[in-house]
Structures are given as structure tokens and as C-alpha cells.
């Protein structure tokens, strides 16, 4: 298991307001080495053509990956911040729910790299994203 501490999905889903809460992102599953979250595809996250905006997919990917890093790092001493995120949008989604499954590619002392795959309601891959996270000493900004 990669998680440093026990994980309670209820706690993850009741974090004070943050970007993901505006898009109704919900954590739904945790396994030994994956964290999964969902996001409803509604007009709130559409682009002008009536399909899921790529930026919303990236928010979903960065949200699930950043939370995963926070569950791996020693957050008493360190904080995790996104360094780089990329995404390949493979299939449009007009409605329903998308599901992001996050798994580690690299878990180092100073960086984490996550593979995030986003699927539609029928299990088709719609987006592939990679997130690199910096693990830095905790400090005020």
C-alpha cells in the first residue's frame, strides 16, 4: 500500500471549499495504489460545442493526483504542489459522469508523478493525463 495514513473518503469529500468542489468532484474509491474521483458532466463544465471542456478534465486530473500526493507525503513536514500537468483528450463527453483513476508512476522524496485516466459512463477512455507534483518543505506563502 502506498498511502502513508488511513484514508476516509468521507473526509476527502468534506474538504473546505476548493476548486474541485465547484465542479462537484467526489472521491469514490481508494485501493492499495489508486485513488478514484468522479465529476458530473453538465453545462457547468461544457465548452461552447456542448461537450466536456478540456480544462475541466485537467482540473479533475490535478485534483485527484494532488490529493493522492497528499496521502503519500508526510504532510506534517511537507506540502505538495503541482509542477506540470498535461492531458490528451481522446473522446468527447456530452453528459453523464466521468471517472478519474489515479495511479503512481514515480513516488520519490521530492517529486511524485501520477498517471490519471478519465473514463466515461460506459468505461471508454476519454482523457489521459500525467501530473508531476513537487514535495516541498511546509512553509507559509
Q: Is residue 3 part of a domain?
A: no
The confidence band for 6, taking pLDDT boundaries of 50, 70 and 90, is: confident
pLDDT at 5: 82
CA atoms within 13 A on the CB side of 126: 27
Is 62 a known active-site residue? yes
C-alpha 71/C-alpha 63 separation (Å) is: 12
Cβ atoms within 10 Å, residue 112:
25
pLDDT for residue 56: 98
Digit-coded pLDDT (tens) for 26-51: 999 999 999 999 999 999 999 999 99
Question: What per-residue confidence (pLDDT) applies to 14?
Answer: 86
7-11, 16-20, 135-139: least confidently modelled range = 16-20
Q: Exposed e or buried b for every residue in 102-111, given b needs 16+ CB within 10 A?
A: bbbeebeeee
pLDDT band at 79 (very low <50, low <70, confident <90, very high): very high
Query: 37 in a domain, yes or no?
Result: yes
Q: Mind giving me the DSSP string for 11-66? A: HHTTPSS-HHHHTT-EEEEE-SS-EEEEEEESGGGB-TTSSB-HHHHHHHHHHHHH
Q: Which residue in 102, 129, 82 sits closest to 35, CA to CA? A: 102
Is 91 inside any structural domain? Answer: yes
CATH number, position 110: 3.10.129.10
Given the residues 32, 62, 84, 137, the one annotated as active site: 62
The count of domains in the chain is: 1
What is the span of the domain harbouring residue 114? 9-137
**pLDDT of 108:** 98
Give the Cβ contact number of residue 124 at 10 Å.
11
Question: Is 67 inside a domain boundary?
Answer: yes
Residue 117 in any domain: the answer is: yes
2 within some domain: no
Give the largest CA-CA distance in the chain: 45
**Do residues 36 and 102 make contact, with C-beta atoms less than 8 angstroms apart?**
yes
Confidence of residue 16 (pLDDT cuts 50, 70, 90): confident
Answer whether residue 74 is part of any domain. Answer: yes
| Three-state SS at 1 | coil
Does residue 4 lie within any of the structural domains? no
Stretch 53-66: mean pLDDT: 98
Q: In the predicted model, is pLDDT for residue 63 greater than 80? A: yes
Amino acid at each position: 500500500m502506498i498511502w502513508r495514513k488511513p484514508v476516509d473518503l468521507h473526509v476527502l469529500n468534506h474538504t473546505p471549499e476548493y476548486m474541485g468542489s465547484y465542479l462537484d468532484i467526489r472521491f469514490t474509491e481508494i485501493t492499495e495504489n489508486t485513488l478514484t474521483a468522479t465529476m458530473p458532466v453538465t453545462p457547468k463544465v461544457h465548452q461552447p460545442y456542448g461537450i466536456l471542456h478540456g480544462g475541466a478534465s485537467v482540473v479533475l486530473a490535478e485534483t485527484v493526483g494532488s490529493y493522492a500526493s497528499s496521502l503519500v507525503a508526510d504532510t506534517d513536514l511537507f506540502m505538495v504542489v503541482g509542477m506540470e500537468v498535461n492531458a490528451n483528450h481522446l473522446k468527447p463527453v456530452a453528459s453523464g459522469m466521468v471517472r478519474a483513476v489515479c495511479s503512481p508512476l514515480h513516488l520519490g522524496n521530492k517529486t511524485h508523478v501520477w498517471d490519471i485516466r478519465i473514463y466515461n459512463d460506459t468505461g471508454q477512455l476519454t482523457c489521459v493525463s500525467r501530473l508531476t507534483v513537487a514535495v516541498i518543505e511546509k512553509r507559509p506563502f
